[in-house]
Amino acid sequence: MRTVTQHQQIIADLIRSPAPVPVPLADAAGRVLAADHYAARQLPAFDNSAMDGYAVLAADIATATTELPVQLRVVEDIPAGRGDVPALRPGTAHRIMTGAPMPVGADAVVQVEATDGGVTRVAIWEPRASGTHVRYAGEDVRAGERVLTAGTVLRAPQLGLLAALGDAEVSVLPALRVLVLSTGSELVEPGQPLLPGQIHESNALMLATAIDSAGAHAKRLHFVADEVAEFHAALDSHLADVDLVITSGGVSAGAYEVVKDALTGQGVDFAKVAMQPGMPQGAGVVRGVPVVTLPGNPVSVLVSFEVFVRPALRAAMGYPDTRRPVVRVRLTEPITAPAGKRQFRRGFLDRELGTVRPIGPPGSHFLRWLAAADCLIDIAEDVTTLEAGALVDAWSLD
Ligand code: AMP
Ligand code: MG
């Protein structure tokens, strides 16, 4: 049997990084920057006012007080966006708005609140030092400067910066495209009636949602009956436009194990991993495309995705955080675990108390308890009993 760590490494080696692509800024949210980014221009682009008020020569208003305001003639009105800003002559003021270009000859802005707000003449009540309320060209970003480093996750502030710099596109590591293929002759589309022995298909949507929230893109979801020919046909029709295939079901020890039957000897290696849930696993490359075969039980599917696939996907797409955050917390009640297997139990965290409550039994069909959990309790291979109050590692799934 393989250890969890060994199989994690196999999946990590299997999933390759996508080639960087330029994308419009609007499509770049959440993606990883592929290369260091240099500013094409400076920010601010020109000296401009930080306030609504009056552009003045600081020396002209040095004596201003409430009792003895300095009176200046207002010569020009400069709203934001005005391009033809006349120079300021000493002894006069220009009314100016936030973001409007500073006139040559002015060296300070008095905000409107420190004046009477006059339109043709203005009474200024307070002096201002040279440079006050002026935003200087290039004081934020110099042209040619490196503003973002490769590997940065592009979120609102980074995209705001790129837009401010005038960039329309940015080179990112794109989402890996994943085909989700569930197997089982008992499976029926949700919403459709069930005949005896049938169940509603639930792994495909669950996996697709987990894939998307890992930053990848579940491109197609499918389920096929336990028929080797049908399985191959589904695979063949989609292999060309995906980077990874994830299957569920059909890999354990019984008969009618369609994934095993179809892919044994085709580049996929099936193995047992010392883990509960999720023991039967497989991985390989089929006709040039990496394939990860997960077991069919719903809890096994999601736990195996979390343990093996999610970290590998995130690493390939360049994310700095490939692992779920692990918190060290105390069990609220005792649990037992099988010898020789790494066990992942569902749990519910109380971060304030620093505790975790194990939720539901260990069986891998207890979907309702999976849905109630917010973490996986990670129990080492050699641990068989844990008392209430024992410290454990929990993977936070939020
Ligand atoms: P298998 O690994 O194919 O033997 O499936 C193990 C268990 O998981 C069986 O009870 C299946 O009915 C169930 N199962 C497998 N695939 C799915 C699926 N896509 N949706 C819901 N249950 C499934
Ligand atoms: Mg099956």
Kindly give the number of the ligand 1 atom that is closest to the alpha carbon of 223: 19
Find, among 56, 94, 2, 72, the residue nearest to 279 by Cα. 2
Phi/psi region, residue 104 (left: phi>0; alpha: psi -120 to 50; beta: rest), is beta
Burial class (CB in 10 A: 0-12, 13-18, 19+), 98: middle
Which pair of structure tokens corresponds to residue 340?
Answer: 């020789």
Kindly give the number of the ligand 1 atom that is closest to the alpha carbon of 254: 4
The mean per-residue pLDDT over the stretch 249-275 comes to: 95
Whole-number pLDDT of residue 398: 87
pLDDT in tens, 171-206: 999 999 999 999 999 999 999 999 999 999 999 999
Ligand 1 site, residue 304, Cβ cutoff 6 A: no
Q: Is the peptide bond before 320 cis (omega within 30 degrees of 0)?
A: no
SS (H, E, C) 177-196: EEEEEEECCCEECCCCCCCC
Nearest protein CA to atom 5 of ligand 1, as residue: 296
Find, among 271, 306, 273, 312, the residue nearest to 290 by Cα. 312
Identify the band that residue 221 occupies on the pLDDT scale cut at 50, 70 and 90: confident
Whole-number pLDDT of residue 151: 98
Measured distance CA(244)–CA(207) in Å, rounded: 13
**pTM, two decimal places:** 0.93
pLDDT at 220 over 80: no
Q: How far is the CA of 295 from the centre of ligand 1 (A)?
A: 8
Pocket test for ligand 1, best of 180, 181, 187, 366 (most atoms within 8 A of CB): 187
pLDDT in tens, 7-59: 999 999 999 999 999 999 999 999 999 999 999 999 999 999 999 999 999 99
